[in-house]
Amino acid sequence: MKAVDLYHFSGTGNTLLIVQSMARTFLDRGVAVRLHPIETTDSFRIAISDTLGLAFPVAVQSTYPFVWRFINALPKGEGKPAFLVDTLAGYSGGIVRPLRDLLLRKGYVPLGEKEIIMPNNLSKTPASETANASIIRKGMDQAIAFAAALATNRTEWKTGFLTEYGMLFMYLLAIGMMSKPVQHLLSKAVFLNIDAKRCARCHLCVSLCPVGNIRLPDGKRDSVPKIGNTCQLCMRCVAYCPSSAIHFGRWNRGGERYHAVSLSEIQRYYRNDIE
Ligand SMILES: Cc1cc2nc3c(=O)[nH]c(=O)nc-3n(C[C@H](O)[C@H](O)[C@H](O)COP(=O)(O)O)c2cc1C
């Protein structure tokens, strides 16, 4: 492997930590790395010189619809190798197999996949820092080992019995998540709210939303932002709101929120403009 174009998304920083660990490992082994944020990459400008890497969080046994849309828009693989790393709190039903099939259909050669357990960013109250620190340390160790194995061609894209047959339901669920009607239903059924009393009108959430779903209703700087109906529940606005004003239904109102990296680190990697 000579070079990796690693396209990545992270809502609350878990996946970003994994991406950073892998990038350092690749560089140490003489593999060039170009990092591209999925959320601001124009699909017409996706270019893979040598190896394609994909990194994203698991969401509802699949991943976010805009990530799937990005993957669907990938150019033809023409025999280039591709790998996947995803982060999750415990279990992703069927994402590994459908993604492999999709990449194969596009003409990529599936090189290897790794699912890495990281802290749950959907929990009502974050676990203790010590517990999270130990999960994160183990996750980063796995990321380093995976990148080292990729660099020396020692990986495989596993398709054991369970992923082949036993996970049919999860496979269908993952496929279903990509479909337009399901995306529409999800956006109507599950949504975030902004508590106007808590909101400091800093409008950070407007610039953090990866899909431009948080806006100022009348463009006035002193307005409480409004959340539209294309929320993908990545939790970034919830995690980084300085006054904990954004909450998920009646759940996690106020209080402490989980995020794995600082706000400035998220802003450094995920600028809200086109690449
Ligand atoms: C809406 C949502 C759905 C999730 N669904 C799953 C899931 O199905 N399985 C799982 O193991 N973790 C699930 N998680 C947890 C995340 O995958 C996990 O915390 C991930 O590392 C977050 O990555 P990030 O910080 O890069 O956004 C979910 C999180 C969110 C916000």
Ranges of beta strands (E only) in 89-149 are 109-117
Packing angle, helices 129-151 and 14-28, rounded to 10: 40
Measured in angstroms, how far is the CA atom of residue 241 from the centroid of ligand 1?
Answer: 19
Mutate to test the pocket of ligand 1, among 7, 16, 58, 91 (most ligand atoms within 8 A of CB): 58
Contacts of 22 (CB under 8 A, 6+ apart): 6, 33, 53, 55, 85, 143, 144, 146, 147
Say if CB 160 and CB 11 are below 8 A apart.
no
Measured in angstroms, how far is the CA atom of residue 11 from the centroid of ligand 1?
Answer: 9
What pTM, to 2 d.p., does this model score? 0.91
pLDDT tens digit sequence for 169-196 = 666 666 776 677 776 666 666 678 899 9
Say if CB 232 and CB 211 are below 8 A apart.
yes
pLDDT tens digit sequence for 98-157 = 899 999 999 999 999 999 999 999 877 778 888 899 999 999 999 999 999 999 999 988
Residue 274's pLDDT is 41
pLDDT tens digit sequence for 37-54 = 999 998 888 999 999 999
Q: Which domains does the chain have, with CATH numbers?
A: 3-178 (3.40.50.360), 182-269 (3.30.70.20)
Ligand 1 pocket by Cβ (under 6 Å) = 10-15, 57-61, 87-92, 118, 120-122, 233-235, 260
